[in-house]
Structure formats: structure tokens, C-alpha cells
Chain A
Amino acid sequence: MNTGTQISISSLLIASSLVLVSIVFSHHQKLKLEKEIIIGIVRAVIQLVAVGYVLEYIFGLKSPIFTTLLILFMICNAAFNAAKRGQDIKDGVLISFISISAGTILTLSILVFSGAIKYEPYQMIPVSGMIISNAMVALGLCFKHMSNDFNNKREEVETKLSLGADTLTSSIEIIRDSIRTGMIPTIDSAKTLGIVTLPGMMTGLILAGTSPIIAIRYQIMVTFMLLSTTAIASFVACYLSYRKFFNNRKQLR
């Protein structure tokens, strides 16, 4: 990795002129996005600098407890964010927390036990970040789809209930469609890996000087883990949340 590119501060400053391109373009096309672009860039720089120093500190600590606490903190944040997509789902935050935790713990356990990664902050934190953010996006899609379907297919669900079906049987199509919706972006992105996109992790490794042959091994591992996390988190979330659309008399709320 020592052969990789080292970006100097002066290089970064020159590269920042690229931001001017979007500002000039916005101004010329009267998009009125100049303020948004500047705020976005300033926030990104501040957040990334802060995260850089925090990670540097945590990596230096090499404490498994601190690493676990940080992963827990990431899961909590992701749970709050995912729950926003399903605001009419009661206990959405708790369901998101359980689902993301289930996906993360299972996937990380397999990766650690298989020896693919070590339980050390410099490996666990970036990998957990990828897993958790992917699960968060999947859950957001699941919740949104489920809420919409329970609104749009109300009469279909009530027809099944009126025939004497249980709530699970009455909702099974909605549950399956919601899980599918949560998983499809990850599956689609897996299909186009290497053809359409060179994903962030692989690009990062190559830029840092790693051989592309080694970088693809990591990317294959990432693809496996993202698929597994999305599947577990979507499955757990949908099977926990469909019940929230019914009361204890098995009636739609």
C-alpha cells in the first residue's frame, strides 16, 4: 500500500476548484443550487475531517469494547433514520434496531469466524459501516413499500380477513413484495459490479496501491456480506412490522 497515491493538502485545494464547476453551472442555468452546493461541501469537509480524527483516535485505542460501542452507536443512528421511512409503523425504531442488529451481528460473526476480517477497529468499523448503511437503506425501502401497500391494498387484505384468514396469510404478498423491494438494489448492484461500477472499497484499495487481483477478493467479500445483511434485515423487519398494521382483534388499523 505504500506505493499508493498520497494526496497532499495543496492537491486537495486545487481539486476543490472542481466545486466551482457545479456552482458556475448552477448559476448559469439558474438552478438556484449555489447555496445548497456550498453548504453541502462545507458540511462534507467538516464531517469527514472530524470522522478522520475520531477514527484515527479509535484505531489507536485498539479496544474491542470501544469498537463494539461505536458499532452500536452506528446501528442506533441507522435505526432512527430507517424508521423515518415508515412513520406509520408503530415501534419502527425498535424494529429497525432489531433488524439491523440481526443482519450486522450474523454477517460480522461469519466474517470474523471465517478469518476474512479481524475484530480490530481498523477492519471492523469500515466494514460495519458498509453493512449498517446498506441495511438502513434496505429497511427504508421495505417500510415505505409496506406502508404504501397496506394503504393501496386495504380491500384485498380485508377480503382475505373476511374469509377467515389470519393476519400473516392476509399480508403475505405485501410482506414478500416489501422484502423484494428492500433487496433488489443490492442484487442489481451486485449484477453490475465491475461492468458498470468499480465500487468504493475496490477503488480505494487500488488507489492505495493494492493489486486489483487482491482488491477484487475484498470486493467479493463485501458483495457477499451486503447481500446477506440486506436479506436478514429486510426479512426480520418485514415480519416484525406487518403485525403493526393490525390491532389485537385482527382488524386493519
Chain B
Amino acid sequence: MDLLQFKKVFYVRENKDIIKNFSLSVESGDFISIVGASGSGKSTFLKLCCHLISPTDGEIMYNGRNMLEYNPMLLRKEISYCFQIPHLFGDTVEDNLNFPYFIRSMKMDFERVNELLLRFNLDKRILKEEVKNLSGGEKQRIALIRTLLFKPEMILLDEVTSALDVDNTQIVESVINSLNKEGTTVLWITHSPEQSRRYANKLLTVDCGEIKSLEAII
């Protein structure tokens, strides 16, 4: 069964068609790279996927059921979205990594946190670091860890490596690829042609709010 299915989806904001007649299926375990010019509707597409916005026309199905039938909070816990510009809140890194536990009324699992810090090549001492003292690369990796703490069914990445150096980009790519191998579905917006084909099994090209092509990468 398709994990996510767009059926003739339109999204209009301030009388402007941002998404036009999107129809596509995402299968469980897919790794889809999304490419297209700036303003072509890629980020809006991801926001529709995690129900941060709803279509103005058409339907989005998740696990065979219309998204509107789900509790939005539970849905977003299964489909996690990582923004292009990481927004860290509170004072310290720990405040941020505790947030997903806080909203589930759980105590922070330091073992899980340390495991992910290690995977993203970060030392556990960073937990006490103040957010304002972090580099751009550290902020992005902390934002990713915050998204991945509860192993979402699907992760949506919006140009998450665009502000990272080569080393950090490789670390992030490698972690995301291994998560995909473990079964997590990945939708990743990227501007780099090499990156778009390195790990993905499908390439979605978006142009002026429309799907230009969805091809398999062999």
C-alpha cells in the first residue's frame, strides 16, 4: 500500500496557485529527492505532506486514509519535517532535545539522545551548550536529531545541508541514508544534482507548482 498519496492536490494562497494538480504516490521505504527552481512549490509540497497546511482542493491520503481523518498532532509525530533554517528554542541544546519528550509527557531518554549525538558526530557535552553559541552546522544537526528522536515513519528534509560544509554534509547524508535503509521513508529537497541522485531511488522535479517528472533512479 502507498504510504502517502496525493490526489489532484491544489494549494492556493492569496489568489496565487502554489501547487497545481499534484498527483503522486510515495511508497514505504522510498527515498525521493525533490528538485526545482526556488519558488517552484517544493517547500509547500513538504508542508502539505506533514499537514502543516491543507490542500485547497484534492485529497492527501496517509496509509490509505484521508489526512483529515487523523489527529494532526499524531500525524506530525509520524511525519517529521526539518526546516531549511533550523529554529532552536529555549536556552540550551538540552531544552531542544527534551522538547519531543516534553510534548509526550516523557522523561528524556539520554541513551537515545547520546546515540543520535554520536551518529551526527557531536559530543554529549553539547547538551549544556547555549543555543546562541552553536555554529550553523551544529544547529542544523541538533534540529535533525530533535526530529529523529522518536523514529518517525517519514522524514521531510528541506535543503537541510545547504548551509553545511562538506564534512557535515557527508555526516548528515550518511545518517539519513542509513535511516532509510532501516525503513524510514525520506523526502529530501536539494539543489545539488549530485546529492539528488546519490542515495535516492526516485527523483521528483517540480516546476512552477506542477510536477514536471517523477522518475526512478537506477
Chain A contacts to B: CB under 8 angstroms: 155-156, 158-166, 169, 173, 247, 249-252
Contact = CB atoms under 8 A, between A and B. Distances in A.
Given A164-B100, A251-B54, 6 more contacts: A156-B89, A158-B83, A162-B83, A163-B147, A164-B76, A250-B72
Nearest to B70: A249
Interface in B53-81: 53-54, 68, 72-74, 76-77, 80-81
Given A160-B99, A161-B52, A164-B77, A251 B72 contact: yes
Nearest to A165: B103
Contacts of B73: 164-166, 250
A173 B53 CA distance: 22
B103 A162 contact: no
B42 interface: no
Given A163-B100, A163-B146, A156 B53 contact: no
A247 B54 CA distance: 10
Contacts of A251: 51-54, 72
Contacts of A166: 73, 103
A147 B146 CA distance: 28
Interface of B: 47, 50-54, 68, 72-74, 76-77, 80-81, 83, 85, 87, 89, 99-100, 102-104, 143, 146-147
A161 B51 CA distance: 10
7 contacts: A155-B87, A162-B52, A163-B77, A165-B103, A173-B89, A249-B54, A250-B73
Contacts of A252: 52
Contacts of B83: 155, 158-159, 162
B80 A163 contact: yes
B54 A161 contact: no
B99 A162 contact: no
Nearest to A158: B52
Contacts of B100: 163-164
A44 to B, nearest CB: 43
Most buried by B among A155, A164, A169, A249: A164
Contacts of A162: 50, 52, 76, 80-81, 83
Nearest to A169: B103
Contacts of B47: 158
A167 to B, nearest CB: 9
A163 B103 contact: yes
Contact of A161 (B76, B104, B146, B147): B76
A173 B99 CA distance: 14
Contacts of B68: 249
A155 B54 CA distance: 17
A249 B52 CA distance: 9
Contacts of A160: 89, 99
Contacts of B74: 164
Contacts of B52: 158, 161-162, 251-252
Nearest to A159: B87
A165 B100 CA distance: 8
A163 B89 contact: no
Contacts of A169: 102-103
Counting chain A CB atoms within 10 Å of each CB, which of B47, B72, B103 scores highest?
B72
A3 B99 CA distance: 65
Contacts of A165: 73, 99, 103
A40 B55 CA distance: 52
Contacts of A155: 83, 85, 87
Contacts of A250: 72-73
A164 B103 contact: yes
A165 B81 CA distance: 13
